[in-house]
Amino acid sequence: MSDCIFCKIVNRQLPAEIIYEDNNAVVFKDIIPKAPVHFLIVPKKHIDSINALLPEDKGLMGELFLVAQKIAREKEISGYKLVINVGREGGQLVEHLHIHLLSGKITELP
């Protein structure tokens, strides 16, 4: 999607503090963190939200959770929260599926 902010970050058209990347995902720091540690785990494939998942995305979703685990281990984060907001009413501000990885005192849920 040409106007998607996360697609632009994935394609390096917009800057972000990227901390991890592989063939299917990019992880970067949230620019408005809600906790001392607040990373966004974003699939490179544009998917609007959980509601837009297709059966063939099952493996990708598993990979995203394994990326969360890998980042937590690499950053020595022992306790954390994973949050996926779905739709505007669910708090989703960017229409590109993403997982928030938060640790430390959370000021508010994203």
Domain annotation for the chain: domains and CATH numbers: 5-103 (3.30.428.10)
Active site residues per annotation: 98
Residue 24 has pLDDT above 70, yes or no: yes
Q: Which residues contact 79 (CB under 8 A, 6 or more apart)?
A: 103
Please give the average per-residue pLDDT across 47-75, as a whole number: 98
Looking at every residue in the chain, the average pLDDT score rounds to 96
Is residue 33 packed enough to be buried (19+ CB in 10 Å), middle (13-18) or exposed (0-12)?
middle
Q: What is the pTM of this model?
A: 0.95
Residue 2 has pLDDT above 70, yes or no: yes
pLDDT of residue 1: 61
Q: How far apart are CA 107 and CA 64, in angstroms?
A: 24
